[in-house]
Amino acid sequence: AQTVTQSQPEMSVQEAETVTLSCTYDTSESDYYLFWYKQPPSRQMILVIRQEAYKQQNATENRFSVNFQKAAKSFSLKISDSQLGDAAMYFCAYRSALDDMRFGAGTRLTVKP
Amino acid sequence: SAVISQKPSRDICQRGTSLTIQCQVDSQVTMMFWYRQQPGQSLTLIATANQGSEATYESGFVIDKFPISRPNLTFSTLTVSNMSPEDSSIYLCSADRVETEAFFGQGTRLTVV
């Protein structure tokens, strides 16, 4: 099974500043999808951003962007201009046509006012 | 996108009893999944709910304990049988179409006393 590793159990950022959450993955597939999900205390899993492996351009969604390094199997999430509402658990996830969704252990992000 | 309604949102149950969790999607989806999540931890896949056939269970999960139904392309149930306090957890339903992001229900917080 493919593995997804998030090496930062907890991260903290000052409001309005930028934070980067790390994610690495292991796969032998060439075609796959990567995701970042946000889970606030409400428990609802919310898709933040997705990246198709065949695309070289890094995905961007407003204040959220990724740094996708396919050769290094790295997929980090950058949150710019952090807001109090960004505080949540963030999960990196991987899936391919041959594999179900696999999640990392998660990173708890705290935003300080 | 897809909207998923999951119920109940929470329940407190006596040990030895069973609870059935329902998951309704607002459109036809290819895949439906059931996850378990301990507070503050990642998601663990219980099984893939297959329409018209038996669910596919992950290692450590068995049909007698977690029977799953999927009578059509928009609905699935997970039953937690003969519950013990160790079954206390959050249970999440998700759905996706092949090679897209997964959408999640709001989760069911189960407490077994």
Each residue of B56-111: pLDDT tens digit? 999 999 999 999 999 999 999 999 999 999 999 999 999 987 667 889 999 999 99
Rounded distance, CA B98 to CA A97, Å? 7
- What sections of A1-113 are H helices per DSSP? none
Query: In this structure, are residues A78 and A59 in contact, taking their beta carbons and an 8 Å threshold?
Result: no
CATH of the domain at A74: 2.60.40.10
Q: Compute the nearest-CA separation of A12 from chain B (Å).
A: 16
Residue from A100, A102, A110 to probe the interface with B (highest B Cβ count within 10 Å): A100
CATH number of B4-112: 2.60.40.10
Query: In this structure, are residues A100 and B33 in contact, taking their beta carbons and an 8 Å threshold?
Result: yes
Mean pLDDT of A21-29: 95
Q: Is the pLDDT of residue A84 over 70?
A: yes
Residue type, B103: F
Domain boundaries, chain B: 4-112
Mean model confidence pLDDT for chain B: 92
Q: Which residues of A touch B92 (CB under 8 A)?
A: 43, 45
Can the peptide bond before residue B8 be classed as cis, meaning omega within 30 degrees of 0? Answer: yes
Pick from A30, A45, A35: nearest CA to A4: A35
Beta-carbon-side half-sphere exposure of residue B85 (alpha carbons within 13 Å) = 1
Least confident of A79-83, A98-102, B8-12: A98-102
Closest partner CB to B104 (pick from A44, A96, A97): A44
Residue A51, pLDDT score = 95
Q: What percent of chain B has pLDDT over 90?
A: 80
Domain total in chain A: 1
Least confident of A51-60, A75-84, B10-19: A51-60
